[in-house]
Amino acid sequence: EINFLFDFIDINKDDLVSGQEWDAFMTLFVYPFEACNTKNNYYLDESEWKVCWENDPNSNNIKFEPNKEGGATPDKQILKTFAFDDN
């Protein structure tokens, strides 16, 4: 997993992570996650995810097909797609 993460951060694939690459990664992924993780447990539960989704102006850029499963909201559709636990 750490190799995958390194390859993801190393944008120009020179086998080094520059300060600019690190800053971009932190800005795009780590800082937003930390801001959403209000319980400070390194896990976003459904309520934290919902607040994050609703407050992110970029969430409007993602469009969903009408849900045929009882009208689940977009935040729940994403959570169901990417959740790794059974809760």
Closest CA to 82 of 62, 55, 61, 68: 62
Alpha-carbon distance of 54 to 34, in angstroms, equals 16
What lies within 8 Å, CB to CB, of 30 at 6+ separation is none
Please give the mean pLDDT across all residues of the chain. Answer: 85
The amino acid sitting at 68 is K
Alpha-carbon distance of 76 to 47, in angstroms, equals 10
Tell me which range, 48-52, 66-70, 77-81, is most confidently predicted by mean pLDDT: 48-52
Residue 24: pLDDT above 80? yes
26 in Cβ contact with 14 (< 8 Å): no
Alpha-carbon distance of 67 to 84, in angstroms, equals 21
